[in-house]
Amino acid sequence: MRWRPAVLLPFLLAACAKSDAPSSGKTVVRFLAGPDVGGGAKEVIAEFHQLHPELLIEMVEGPAGTGTREDMYSTSFMGGESTYDIVYMDVVWMPKFAHQGWLRPLDDKFTPEMQAQFLPGDIAGSRYEGKTYRVPVQSDGGLLYYRKDLLEAAGIAPPNTWAELAAAAKKLQNPPEVWGFVFQGKQYEGLVCDFLELVWGNGGTLIDEHGGVHVDDPAAVEALTWLVDAVRKDKISPDGVLTFQEEEARHMFQEGRAVFMRNWPYAWNLAQQDGSPVKGKVGIRPMVHGSGRSPAATLGGWGYGISSFSKNPEAAWTFIEFASSREAQKVAYMKSGIIPTRKALFDDPDIVSKSPHYKELREVLETAKPRPVHPQWARVSDILQVHLSAALSGQKTPEAALKAAADEIRPAMAR
């Protein structure tokens, strides 16, 4: 549906970011981002200002919660405002925003030759209905963390398949002090990400490119059965995992109280920092998969798009081109630890010497796939969250849960 004049918005809005236009005569390009931890973005902007004194990049450092920032962009666009020229967006916002007509297609500027230099998953997550709406600048993908020391001591090779992980976890765990496997089990988007990796890693898919729903296919049922069994049958995961988001899982792993953890790359630096009980004892590898299958990662990550309401799309593109360049991405990595999206940077000697684990990380990111690119994804994900959570908490069998989810998703997709 399209938006009618947003008379209601003032009443729905809690806060609205808008600054006054400066009178310096410069063309202002504005975007909303999270807190600039480490100062990488500010450094990139400062370098850009040196090159382009005629442009003024205004980065609004918004709340850390990505959902809140999504709301802020949405409300601004619902009102047809030109507050933000650039849209700094999470990979999952893109289809929704593009479907509403809030984003400009970038294909004439972001050519296939340019796109070929980026990780394939990041590009796939930037395209919607045959057009490109986003230039990725930060890559992210789910992976498996494991306790190198514990596995080595027991003479166990790092697991490739789900069965190997479960066997190793059972052998090495000592609950409730040390658990085998922790993941994101709370009813929220993270649970769907974890589940997707297992489905893809089992040769399945949730929604195919023609919009077909495969949520209750055997591959998906089997994947959910693994996850449910981890909590309820094998007992390699604590009951409390149903309340875990990323940080709860990381805390447990970092305290040395879990053998395996599914998480995002950010946990690496924290687990390896001074004072961490597991410093130097951690390995990473692609998420485990079904026997005879190949691993997969759920793609996260951020990129720049241009708002349809922007009055300065050319200036916005000038900045985006710079901010996604090799040099700028390297600055962002050095200052803020942002994972690059350009393949070449994973071989950059400065980066490899500072982050030796980028070799394994690249393997993970090469297998990363975006969540189904569909404007109704938020609704689909919400439906999945409830039924996955119901299966994990034992309210339903995996079959019944996914059958119910599929029955709800089919009409929702048609909306």
Partner 1 sequence: MSRDRAHAGFGPREAAVNWSFAVPALLLMALVNLLPVVAAFRYASGFHRLSADGRMFASLWNTVRFTAYAVSIETVLGLAIALLLTRPFKGRGLVRAAVLVPWALPTAIMAMAWQWIYNPEYGILGDLLFKFGLVSSPRVAWLASPGSAMAACVLADVWKTTPFMTLLFMSGLANIPDELYEAAGIDGAGPVRRFFLITLPLLKPTLALAMVFRAIQSFGVFDLVWVLTGGGPGGSTRMIALYVYDNVFRYLELGYACTLTLVMAACLLVMSAGILYFTRQKEQA
Counting contacts by CB under 8 A, is residue 390 touching partner 1? Answer: yes
Q: How far, in Å, CA of 156 to CA of 4, rounded?
A: 61
CA pair distance 71, 193, nearest whole angstrom: 21
Smallest Cα–Cα separation from 91: which of 121, 59, 57, 61? 121
Which range touches partner 1 (CB under 8 A), out of 57-65, 183-191, 192-200, 220-228? 183-191
400 neighbors 253 (Cβ within 8 angstroms): no
Q: Taking CB under 8 A as the rule, does residue 382 contact partner 1?
A: yes
Is 207 or 391 the residue whose CB approaches partner 1 more closely?
391
Contacts 24+ apart (CB under 8 A), 396-400: 398/221, 398/224, 398/225, 398/228, 399/216, 399/221
Contact between 302 and 91 under an 8 Å Cβ cutoff? The reply is yes
The one among 30, 104, 147, 186 contacting partner 1 by CB under 8 A: 186
Residues 11-70 that bind partner 1 (CB under 8 A): 11-12, 67, 70
E strands in 116-257 = 127-128, 131-132, 135-141, 143-147, 179-182
Q: Per CB under 8 A, does 397 bind partner 1?
A: no
3-state secondary structure of 228: helix
Residue 277 in contact with partner 1, rule: CB under 8 A: no
Backbone phi, psi, residue 74, to 5° = -55, -50
Q: Which of 355, 389, 405, 406 binds partner 1 (CB under 8 A)?
A: 389
Q: How far apart are CA 266 and CA 41, in angstroms?
A: 17
**Measured distance CA(59)–CA(67) in Å, rounded:** 18
257: Cβ–Cβ under 8 A, 6 or more apart, which residues? 177, 178, 179
Q: Which of 17, 378, 397, 403 binds partner 1 (CB under 8 A)?
A: 378
The answer to whether the Cα torsion of 46, 50, 51, 54 is positive or negative is positive
Provide the token pair at 381.
């994900």
Nearer to partner 1, 110 or 253 (CB): 253
3 touches partner 1 (CB under 8 A)? yes
Give the one residue of 396, 405, 406, 413 binding partner 1; rule: CB under 8 A. 396
Contact with partner 1 (CB under 8 A): which of 197, 303, 408, 413?
A: 408
Region binding partner 1 by CB under 8 A among candidate stretches 180-188, 205-213, 273-281, 302-310: 180-188
Q: Which of 81, 109, 188, 283 binds partner 1 (CB under 8 A)?
A: 188
Task: Out of 95, 180, 238, 340, point to the residue binding partner 1 (CB under 8 A).
Answer: 238
Query: Is 157 one of the binding residues for partner 1 (CB under 8 A)?
Result: no
State in angstroms the smallest separation of the CB of 335 from partner 1: 30
Residues 242-271 that bind partner 1 (CB under 8 A): 242-243, 252
**From residue 338 to residue 377, what is the string marking binding to partner 1 with x (rule CB under 8 A)?**
--------------------------------------x-
Binding flag, residue 237, partner 1 (CB under 8 A): no
Q: Give the number of other Cβ atoms within 10 Å of residue 11's Cβ.
A: 6
Binding site for partner 1 (CB under 8 A): 1, 3-4, 6-8, 11-12, 67, 70-71, 74, 78, 96, 100, 176, 186-188, 238-243, 252, 376, 378-379, 382, 385-387, 389-396, 408
